[in-house]
Amino acid sequence: MNKQKILITLIAAGLVTLGGYGVQSATAKEKKQAPAAQEAAGQKKAETIDATAKLSDNHPAFEEGTSCNDCHEVKLDAKTTATQAWLYGDYLSWKADEGIMPKDKLWEQVVKVIGDSKAKKTYILATVLNNRPYAITIEYALDPVKKVMYAFSEKGTSKLNQIKANPYVALGWHEEFKNDFTKLLCVSLNGRAELFDGTTREFDEGLSVYPYEYGANMRKIPLDKFKAIMKQAMIMSRITLDEVTVTDTSLKDAGFRTRQRWMRK
Ligand code: HEC
């Protein structure tokens, strides 16, 4: 074979490989699309879109509650977003990967901010059901050792139904922002919620962490009686924390970035 022939053979082989790849990824995509969504889209292909893509007037119709990524692959550039830069990139006086708190020390900081055992805080809890978000205020108490949070809610409340259907939750807690960017304190948390009733061991574990005593004192009911009422009337939610992001401008004085992220894994 002369040089030219070899080159042509190589190019042809390359084309075959590329062609094969194209067919493969199209099939993978078709599998990913829900059958109903495909039908709604009239069998035309939904290409990869940018996160900022807008719907045009002649976009195929789709059902309410369906989101773009049910049909499209949405390109997200998670490396260069502002949050990533604040956490790990070149930011203010920090070079990339400098100023990041060691994991254990960061956890201590989380406990300092949102409170130790027998201390609760008022959070906004977000749940998602059928692609719709739902946000509610709720008191949670942190177990600093297991890194889980406990709350007690009346049976039959909406948030419990939401959690039952989809355990993935997010929470936020913040100090009121007083128009001064040098004084910020807020925490956002992600985790998985589970529900337990009063007959379970987990419910008792929750009571040992959650400062339920305030409820008994308020109602002037003996502790034991109050505990029995809680076991009867309430459902406990336990959130296993997976990710906690702290914004705390006071960390700067210790030489750390003001935004830090703890991850369980
Ligand atoms: C039910 C599936 C489905 C959903 C949901 C959907 N798309 Fe599409 N989209 C399609 C299909 C199929 C095409 C190709 C249509 C064509 O070629 O005529 C398309 C085309 C597009 C295009 C190319 C040009 C155009 O508008 O026709 C853009 C941009 C786009 N979609 C953005 C979005 C965004 C943004 C959302 C969410 C708000 C979204 N799509 C939700 C199926 C979907």
| Domains (range + CATH), the chain | 39-73 (no CATH), 100-263 (2.30.110.10)
Which atom of ligand 1 is nearest the CA belonging to 56?
26
Overall residue count recorded for the chain in this entry: 265
The residues that bridge with 244 in the sheet, in sequence order, are 189, 262
Is residue 114 a contact partner of residue 142, using CB atoms and an 8 Å limit? yes
> Does the Cβ of 87 fall within 6 Å of ligand 1?
no
Query: pTM of the predicted model, to two decimals?
Result: 0.68
Given this model, what pLDDT does residue 8 score?
A: 45
Given this model, what pLDDT does residue 21 score?
A: 38
Given this model, what pLDDT does residue 77 score?
A: 67
> Does the Cβ of 44 fall within 6 Å of ligand 1?
yes
Q: Which of 30, 72, 73 maximizes ligand 1 atoms within 8 Å of its Cβ, making it the mutation to test the pocket?
A: 72
pLDDT digits over 145-183, tens only? 999 999 999 998 999 999 999 999 999 999 999 999 889
Is residue 263 a contact partner of residue 251, using CB atoms and an 8 Å limit? no
- Percentage of the chain exceeding pLDDT 70: 82
Residue ranges of the chain whose pLDDT lies below 70: 1-43, 77-80
Given this model, what pLDDT does residue 40 score?
A: 54
Given this model, what pLDDT does residue 145 score?
A: 96
Q: Which residues, 6 or more positions from 93, have their beta carbon under 8 angstroms from its beta carbon?
A: none
Given this model, what pLDDT does residue 116 score?
A: 81
At residue 181's C-alpha, the angle toward residues 175 and 187, to 5°, is 35
Question: How does the average pLDDT of the chain come out, rounded?
Answer: 85
Given this model, what pLDDT does residue 28 score?
A: 40
Q: Which of 55, 63, 64, 73 maximizes ligand 1 atoms within 8 Å of its Cβ, making it the mutation to test the pocket?
A: 55
> Does the Cβ of 37 fall within 6 Å of ligand 1?
yes
- Please give the structure tokens belonging to residue 72: 């499209």
Atom 6, ligand 1: residue with shortest CA distance: 68
Given this model, what pLDDT does residue 11 score?
A: 44
Given this model, what pLDDT does residue 31 score?
A: 40
Given this model, what pLDDT does residue 29 score?
A: 41
